[in-house]
Amino acid sequence: AAAGSTSRPLPAALNRALMMAPEIDRVAADHRLDPLLLHAIARVESGHNASAVSHAGALGVMQVMPGTASRFGVSDAGALHLVPINLRVSARYLNVLQRRFPGDLRLVLAAYNAGEGAVERHGRRVPPYRETQAYVVKVLAEYARLDGAARRLSAEGAGAAP
C-alpha cells in the first residue's frame, strides 16, 4: 500500500495537541515563550489533556496546582481545566521562573515541577527527587524532539533536502 493510503484516526494525544496549537501559539507570543517548550511541557504533564488531574492535585493541560494559580489571580480551581486559562497561568509562572533562574532551563523545569523553594533549598540545583529529575529529562527530550521535527519540516518546506 502507498504511504498514507490507510485511513486511520489520529492518536488522541496528537489530535489534542493539534487542536490546542493555535492557543499555545498565542500564549507563547504574549509571554515571549517558545511554543515548542509549552507543547513539550503539555505533552509530558498531561498528554495535552485539559481534563487531567494528578495525584498531587495539579489540574489541566499544564498540570497547574491551585495554589500556584491563585498567585496569578485564578482562585477557581475548576477554571484550570479551561485551556486558555491554564496556559496563561503556566506561561506567567514560567516567566517568573525564567527571571528567577535566568538562562537555566533545567532549573526552570525543576522549579515548575517541584517548586522554586525545592530548587533553592538544594543549592539552585535540580532537587534529588526521582520524579523531578525524570521530569526534567523528559521535558528536555520532548522539547529537543519537537525542535528537530520543526527544523526538518521547515527545511522541507523551503525546498531543502531532508
Prediction pTM value:
0.89
Cα distances (angstroms) measured from residue 64 to each of 79, 85, 126, 143, 147:
11, 10, 19, 19, 24
- Confidence class for position 1, pLDDT limits 50, 70, 90: very low
Query: What would the pLDDT profile of 115-147 be if each residue is shown by its tens digit?
Result: 999 999 999 999 999 999 999 999 999 999 999
Category of 123 on φ-ψ map: left (φ > 0), alpha (ψ -120 to 50) or beta: left
pLDDT surpasses 50 at 19? yes
Cα distances (angstroms) measured from residue 107 to each of 72, 80, 88, 139:
21, 24, 20, 12
Share of the chain above pLDDT 90, in %: 80
Query: What would the pLDDT profile of 84-111 be if each residue is shown by its tens digit?
Result: 999 999 999 999 999 999 999 999 999 9
Active-site residue 116, yes or no?
Answer: no
Active-site hit among 23, 45, 116, 142: 45
For the chain, domains (ranges, CATH) are 12-155 (1.10.530.10)
Query: What would the pLDDT profile of 53-76 be if each residue is shown by its tens digit?
Result: 999 999 999 999 999 999 999 999
pLDDT surpasses 70 at 2? no
